[in-house]
């Protein structure tokens, strides 16, 4: 199978469907990396009963060996831990050519009450964050999982970054909904921005009540909502995986959206405009009840200061700002 086209959310959906169809499979999750391993902690792949796989744990270096271990895990009905890297005897045949090292936790769908993928998929589908805590014994490669639980939102570790704790006895894996960007205003810059956001796998929505600006001919690849921004945002709902970018320069469109966005969990809120318009906007937002602290969240002028000119360069600056803000909070 061509594993390169499958994103994590695709794998969650496929795995949940396999569970519903009682189709045996195993998941293989990267729980630790060292050196130049090509996939990050939390990356996972699925292996079915025929040895076909979706996704990747190493970019191709050790997938064949992981498939063999996954099939053995399915036959035994037990989780297992496999390690690959520069210290392995088999490094020349199955090790990481790039010189890194990874540990991969394999968990079969058979032999357990319900595989973790079912809960993770439902949470992501409902745009909720979820965190799975596994207690591990990494000295027992054939039975590494001592116990597991889904954390409540009140738990201190809920929503924490995926990874092992300091003594490697607990592995936390946090699943987040698809990142979403809501663009206010179907203006010229928005067309380039939609393309850039989609290249980063954002779900993109364009909100503008003016159908002459926001229509399928101008924006053929994303969802269009022809409503006033405050009504649209209320209907959509704003969560912590949402970015809101106002581009119209028109207070009657931008300001209602920003009033909602700056009082929401959105991870990024930005507005197009120079310093003069940003100062005028701040005064209007203060008059409408926002505090200085709330307004300080607003990225305006939107994007990183790289001297960008024209829609394409402005898109680059906005995307860079989005990524920087998102990663700083994860």
Which of 145, 175, 205 is the endpoint of a domain?
175
Q: CA triplet 64, 67, 73: central angle to 5 degrees?
A: 150
Question: What total of structural domains would you count in the chain?
Answer: 2
Looking at the structure, tell me whether residues 188 and 278 fall in a common domain: yes
Q: What's the pLDDT score for residue 86?
A: 53
CA 109 – CA 49 distance, rounded (Å): 10
Looking at the structure, tell me whether residues 141 and 290 fall in a common domain: no
Domain span at 11: 3-175
> Sign of the C-alpha dihedral, residues 297, 298, 303, 306?
negative
Average pLDDT across the chain, whole number:
91
What is the per-residue pLDDT across 275-306, written as a single tens digit (0 to 9) for each?
A: 899 999 999 999 999 999 999 999 999 999 99
Model confidence at 6, pLDDT cuts 50, 70, 90, reads confident
Q: What's the pLDDT score for residue 36?
A: 65
Q: How many CB atoms lie within 10 A of CB 53?
A: 22
Looking at the structure, tell me whether residues 152 and 191 fall in a common domain: no
CA 325 – CA 175 distance, rounded (Å): 18
What is the per-residue pLDDT across 67-80, written as a single tens digit (0 to 9) for each?
A: 999 999 999 999 99
Name 25's bridge partners: 48
Q: Is the pLDDT of residue 96 over 90?
A: no
The pLDDT of 263-270, averaged and rounded, is: 97
SS3 for 48?
strand
Looking at the structure, tell me whether residues 30 and 44 fall in a common domain: yes
Looking at the structure, tell me whether residues 206 and 112 fall in a common domain: no
Looking at the structure, tell me whether residues 98 and 190 fall in a common domain: no
Which of 143, 175, 207 is the endpoint of a domain?
175
> Sign of the C-alpha dihedral, residues 191, 284, 282, 268?
negative
Q: How many CB atoms lie within 10 A of CB 153?
A: 10
Looking at the structure, tell me whether residues 262 and 118 fall in a common domain: no
What is the per-residue pLDDT across 195-233, written as a single tens digit (0 to 9) for each?
A: 999 999 999 999 999 999 999 999 999 999 999 999 999
Looking at the structure, tell me whether residues 193 and 108 fall in a common domain: no
Which of 117, 148, 175 is the endpoint of a domain?
175
The pLDDT of 118-134, averaged and rounded, is: 96
CATH code: domain of residue 324: 3.40.50.720
Lowest-confidence region among 27-36, 147-156, 248-257:
27-36
């Amino acid at each position: 199978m061509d594993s390169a086209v499958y994103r994590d959310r695709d794998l969650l959906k496929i795995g949940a469907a396999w569970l519903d169809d009682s189709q045996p499979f195993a998941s293989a999750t990267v729980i630790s990396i060292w050196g130049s391993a090509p996939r990050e902690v939390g990356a996972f792949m699925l292996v079915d009963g025929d040895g076909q796989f979706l996704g990747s744990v190493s970019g191709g270096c050790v997938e064949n060996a992981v498939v063999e271990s996954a099939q053995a895990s399915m036959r035994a009905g037990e989780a297992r831990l496999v390690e690959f890297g520069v210290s392995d005897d088999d490094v020349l045949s199955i090790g990481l050519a790039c010189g890194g090292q990874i540990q991969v936790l394999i968990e079969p769908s058979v032999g357990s009450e319900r595989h973790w993928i079912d809960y993770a998929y439902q949470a992501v589908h409902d745009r909720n964050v979820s965190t799975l805590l596994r207690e591990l014994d990494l000295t027992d490669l054939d039975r590494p999982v001592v116990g597991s639980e889904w954390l409540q939102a009140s738990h201190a570790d809920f929503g924490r970054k995926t990874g092992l704790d300091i003594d490697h006895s607990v592995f936390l894996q946090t699943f987040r909904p698809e990142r979403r960007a809501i663009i206010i205003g179907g203006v010229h810059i928005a067309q380039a921005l939609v393309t850039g956001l989609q290249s980063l796998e954002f779900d993109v929505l364009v909100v503008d009540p003016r159908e002459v600006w926001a229509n399928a001919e101008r924006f053929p690849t994303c969802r269009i909502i022809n409503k006033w921004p405050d009504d649209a945002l209320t209907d959509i709902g704003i969560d912590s995986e949402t970015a809101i970018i106002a581009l119209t320069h028109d207070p009657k469109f931008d300001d209602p959206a920003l009033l909602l966005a700056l009082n929401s969990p959105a991870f990024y809120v930005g507005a197009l405009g120079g310093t003069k318009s940003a100062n005028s906007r701040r005064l209007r937002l203060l008059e409408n009840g926002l505090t200085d602290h709330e307004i300080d969240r607003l990225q305006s002028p939107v994007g990183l200061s790289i001297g960008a000119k024209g829609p394409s360069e402005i898109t680059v600056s906005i995307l860079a700002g989005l990524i920087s803000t998102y990663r700083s909070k994860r």
